[in-house]
Amino acid sequence: MAKTDWRLEGEWIKNCSCAYGCPCDFNAPPTQGFCRGLVGMHIVKGHFGAVKLDGLNFAATVDFPGALHLGNGAMQAIIDQRATPEQRDALFGILSGQNSDEGTMFHIFSLIVTKMHDPVFAPFSWTFDLAGRRARMTIPGVLDTEVEPIKNPITGAEHRIQVVMPDGFEHRVGEVAKASMNSTAGIKFNFPDGHSTLAKVIQTPAGVAG
């Protein structure tokens, strides 16, 4: 079956229940044995076929009982309520992984998620400061997560560290930070002190393009 061409350029948040540094990026087991968290994106510029996606947001909450590569995960998609029916179908066409090459991020998620909760369509509030390692994504009644710099435990000074992944399927360079997150929809969790990665990304059917 022919795939639809698409491209997403924008701001990326990945927050999870693990300690700062996200063991998944190093093929290590999750800090607490399980992985719960979220990803979110503000699309600065994007399309799916002829459907423009500029300015929209989406997120997904996830719950894995073990390491991600072991699968058996659950996911709930959260879509910007401003999206038209055509834009909703376009975003689902991307998130499904059916229009992505094997081994790319959305394709991998389609293989390791076995339970899909019904999607939520809701308003987003989004702020993002990559250089300052600060961000906030609020979806009223659904999800609230805030990102701030990691602090030196002695001096309180802001601590900066990056993860560089030349062949990463999620991003190339990510700023590591601290996240608080509270999810109250299909996948529920509350973590006041978890990991965050912030990045500017370009995703395509062939994977990360920048």
d(CA 130, CA 193): 19
pLDDT (average), residues 103-111: 95
In percent, how much of the chain has pLDDT > 90? 96
The H or E element that residue 94 is part of is helix 85-95
pLDDT at residue 210, rounded to an integer = 80
Task: Give the predicted TM-score (pTM) of the model.
Answer: 0.96
Q: Is 109 helix (H, G, I), strand (E, B) or coil?
A: helix
180 domain-assigned: yes
Domain interval for residue 128: 6-208
45 domain-assigned: yes
149 domain-assigned: yes
What's the domain count of the chain? 1
85 domain-assigned: yes
User: How does residue 32 score in pLDDT terms, banded at 50, 70 and 90?
Assistant: very high
Quickly tell me which residue has 């990803």 as its tokens. Answer: 39
Q: Residue 204 pLDDT more than 90?
A: yes
List, as one string, the DSSP characters of 138-195: EETTTEEEEEE-EE-TTT--EE--EEE-TT-SS-SEEEEEEEEEEEESSSEEEEEEEE
175 domain-assigned: yes
Bridge-based pairing of strands 125-129 and 143-148 is unpaired
**What are 36-60's pLDDT values in tens digits?**
999 999 999 999 999 999 999 999 9
Side-chain-side CA neighbours of residue 64 (13 Å): 24
Bridge-based pairing of strands 120-122 and 113-116 is unpaired
d(CA 36, CA 187): 9
DSSP state of 2: P
pLDDT at residue 39, rounded to an integer = 98
1 domain-assigned: no
Q: Residue 90 pLDDT more than 70?
A: yes
Q: Residue 1 pLDDT more than 60?
A: no
**What are 113-170's pLDDT values in tens digits?**
999 999 999 999 999 999 999 999 999 999 999 999 999 999 999 999 999 999 999 9
